Structure 1
Amino acid sequence: MRSQLDLYANLRPVKSPKIQVNKSFLGVDMLIVRENTECLYVKQERYDEKEEKAVADRVITKKASKRIAEIAFKQAQLRQSNREQDSQHKKAKVTIVHKSNVMSVTDGLFRESCLSIAEKYPDVQVEEQLVDSMVYKMFLNPQQYDVVVAPNLYGDILSDAGAALVGGLGLVPSANVSDTFTLVEPVHGSAPDIQGKNIANPLATISAAALLLKRIGTEQNKYSLVGSQIEEAVSRTLSDKDAWSPDLGGTATTKQVTDRVIEHLKTLL
């Protein structure tokens, strides 16, 4: 579906709850921008039975790398604008993640493409991180990051790791976007092992709906406002440990968590 609709950017906000959940870090607020159409995920693999050798083609193009970088820098500017409205003055920053010291051709092209786009945004600070050191530094001091842009595979790994910093996969939404279409979903999978047990955490899915409304709200502000109100309702729900689902260390059912979000939302609308 991502390929058919050309949903080339996966936006994954990683933000700390107001209170600590599952030993989460406080003060984390970063956006991982993952390229969504190429890298190893093109699934071009082959196996040579004679040599007993498996080979996977890794595809990186200048076009895809530039357009994902464009999204990342625009998001950094937007986040900076929102912070100024909230009286926060953290400077917009984009961290380009790659491994060009080893994969100089593929990651080298991604790096160069992103840096060429960076020249159009002199108001945004730019830094680079090798993917292995990025994971290390992200777990030591995640608060230092703002927008992180990465090829498909690295972005997938970093966003799942980032979820661990803020309470778990049950809290992190994502938006798959193109220039004309948005599809939202929680970062976690379908979890068929707990299907029908009424214990799944609904907050990532609810937060994904908020992302969709805020994307629509770029043109119609009423939708963006409702999206922000849903996010606040989720935040207030997380502030009450009685409303935590089992994955967060609580006992609340899926329905109970959802009902609590609705209660908070009613007071905000």
Structure 2
Amino acid sequence: MSSIIRSVGGIVRRGLVTAPSAPIEPVQKLKVCCIPGDGVGVELQESVELLVKNVSIPIVFEEVFVSGIHQKRSAKMEDIKAALRRNNNVCLKGVLQERVNREESELVGLNMRMKRELDLFANVVHIKNMQGIQTRHKKELDFIIIRENTEGEYSAIEHESVPGVVECLKISTRPNIERIAKFAFDYAMKHDRKRLLIVHKANIMKLGDGLFLRTVQKMAEQYPKIKCEQMIVDNTCMQMVSHPEQFDVMVMPNLYGNILDNLATGLVGGAGVVPAASIGSEFIFFESASKHAFQQALGRNYANNTAMLLATANMLDHLHLTDYAVALRRAVQKTIKERKVRTRDLGGFNSTEEFTFRVCDHFHL
């Protein structure tokens, strides 16, 4: 992180210590990139910008147009990289809707191309209950899903051998598995977690998932303080819907992570409430955990923006604007807990804008 970010973070913290009622403004606003995406993405981004303006969070967005629907009008990958580098290598990203039917020779979707070319190798989702959201389990959940983000079944290497016979290749490479394994163990150590679960299907895919299992187990030898276990993915799905409280940190290949992210998100409130991050060697994207563009809500002002607001709080933490991050997270949690202003997915009838203004009311440094 640049010296500018460190100095801004320091100024904010000193201001809060000496004058909590009137914090000192940072020397300059920090620049971040944003990709609103498809569906309700533009509305969710607008709600974030509305909150940022109303509570004076010291960031400014540079918007880049990227769309899974309008790919020909989307920014080129080199332009996306340039925008990221102009904006502290940080992006707040909405959902890009992938087409089910491919066009011409297209096999690699836009999401996958971005993850590969930007080397966003790790996706991290924190599953945690929020007071005020009723869940079926009524159990305290607090676990992390870490997913390898660049290969596996999403390698998009497919071909039709003969008419009616399609072969799809799943790519697993030791260097990428070692990288995600080290990331997962380091994450567990940094956040004082005690157990790491490897999710796999090595009983059937003995070479591909076998390599993943053995590589992570080998990496575990360097982390004796973390208890390393393993579980087959189908059993993991059953355990997650029956006894989700047992999990701590989980690491897995790409497809399993996508499925379990969505399954776990449903346990704690649904697609609108859980944030995520895609982390790479140079760039980091803050986003929602569930990749649903919610086209049916487009223009109707009732989408739940909780996940994007919490993703923004995580982004502020990353930018060392810790006091603003804590204040935003607390404001969202208080709004959810009081259950006075709720979007439709949480049993209410309030709009996205009304929810945003209520969060603003609760925002206090």
Q: TM-score surpassing 0.5?
A: yes
Q: What secondary structure is seen at the aligned counterpart in 1 of 2:340?
A: helix
Two-structure CA RMSD over aligned residues (Å): 1.5
Residue of structure 2 in register with 1:83 after alignment = none
The counterpart of 1:136, out of the listed 238, 256, 259, is 238
CA distance in 1, matches of 2:339, 2:349: 9
Matched AA of 2:280: S
Shift of 1:78: 2.0
Residue of structure 1 in register with 2:152 after alignment = 39
Q: What secondary structure is seen at the aligned counterpart in 2 of 1:67?
A: helix
Alignment deviations for residues 225-255 of structure 1 (CA, whole Å, 9 cap, x no partner): 4323322222111102222210111111101
Residue of structure 1 in register with 2:331 after alignment = 233
CA distance in 2, matches of 1:216, 1:118: 31
CA distance in 2, matches of 1:208, 1:165: 19
Question: Which range moved further: 178-187 or 109-118?
Answer: 178-187
Do the aligned partners of 2:127 and 2:142 also contact (CA within 8 Å) in 1?
yes
Residue of structure 2 in register with 1:30 after alignment = 143
Matched AA of 2:274: V
Shift of 1:215: 2.8
- Percent of aligned pairs with the same amino acid: 33
Could you tell me the TM-score, scaled by structure 1's length?
0.89
Residue of structure 1 in register with 2:220 after alignment = 118
Question: Which range moved further: 164-173 or 187-196?
Answer: 187-196
Do the aligned partners of 1:14 and 1:166 also contact (CA within 8 Å) in 2?
yes
Do the aligned partners of 2:122 and 2:180 also contact (CA within 8 Å) in 1?
yes
- Structure 1 residue ranges (4+ consecutive) displaced by more than 4 angstroms after TM superposition: none
Residue of structure 2 in register with 1:84 after alignment = none
CA distance in 2, matches of 1:147, 1:29: 9
Residue of structure 1 in register with 2:201 after alignment = 99
Shift of 1:111: 0.6
Could you tell me the TM-score, scaled by structure 2's length?
0.66
5+ residue gaps in structure 1?
81-90, 218-222
Matched AA of 1:157: I
Alignment deviations for residues 181-236 of structure 1 (CA, whole Å, 9 cap, x no partner): 2111112322121111000000011111122222333xxxxx23432332222211
Distance 1:71 1:228, change over 3 A: farther
Distance 1:2 1:251, change over 3 A: same
Alignment deviations for residues 154-178 of structure 1 (CA, whole Å, 9 cap, x no partner): 0000010000111111111110101
Does residue 246 of structure 1 match 2:344? yes
Does residue 17 of structure 1 match 2:119? no
Residue of structure 1 in register with 2:261 after alignment = 159
5+ residue gaps in structure 2?
1-113
Alignment deviations for residues 104-141 of structure 1 (CA, whole Å, 9 cap, x no partner): 10000001111111111111111111000011111112
Q: What secondary structure is seen at the aligned counterpart in 2 of 1:199?
A: coil
Shift of 1:10: 0.4
CA distance in 1, matches of 2:118, 2:271: 25
Do the aligned partners of 1:100 and 1:111 also contact (CA within 8 Å) in 2?
yes
CA distance in 2, matches of 1:38, 1:161: 21
Residue of structure 2 in register with 1:174 after alignment = 276
Residue of structure 1 in register with 2:362 after alignment = 264
The counterpart of 1:196, out of the listed 266, 285, 299, is 299
Does residue 2 of structure 1 match 2:104? no
The alignment covers a number of residue pairs equal to 251
